[in-house]
Amino acid sequence: MNIAVKRLPAAEGLPLPAYATELAAGADVCSAEEHNLAPGAWVAVGTGLAFEIPAGAEIQVRPRSGLAARQGVTVLNAPGTIDADYRGELRVLLINHGREPFIITRGMRIAQLVVAPVTRAAFSEARRLSETARGEGGFGSTGR
């Protein structure tokens, strides 16, 4: 699948999203900005990129495991969804769950992008739902 990427002025000189290995599911995307992210704080980090995603697809914005494991920095709304009809700049909402400030530098790989198919549903109101063994049990009810 081909996805057109528009490089905005902030991304001049930065790479387009790229897969780090031959079988990687996510393509790394870089920051076009610099931030000092305090513990407990979050920020929408600009990438300087806009995308033309084909109808029937989305881009999921996911955390980079290394940032999460080493610094406690992750994508706040993971996975974030970039819809096919959005043409603005991709901004990655990062949060610092770590104990130390985290410096985001221009060109740093901050998230990974996964292209996924979209299935749309028709929602219809019902007076009752079919019965299941689980029933209304939620929030850990199957682990008891």
Q: What is the pLDDT of residues 103-144, one digit of tens each?
A: 999 999 999 999 999 999 999 999 999 999 888 888 877 766
Q: What local confidence, expressed as pLDDT, does residue 59 receive? A: 98
Domains identified in the chain, total number: 1
Give the number of residues written for the chain: 144
CATH number at residue 91: 2.70.40.10
Residue 103 falls inside a structural domain: yes
Q: Is residue 98 part of a domain?
A: yes
**With pLDDT > 70 as the criterion, what percentage of the chain qualifies?**
97
In a domain, 126, yes or no: no
User: Does residue 12 lie within any of the structural domains?
Assistant: no
* pLDDT tens string 10-30: 999 999 999 999 999 999 999
142 within a domain of the structure (yes/no): no
- Any domain includes 68: yes
Residue 143 covered by a domain: no
List the domain range (segments joined by +) for residue 24.
Answer: 17-119
Peptide bond just before 54 cis, omega within 30 deg: no
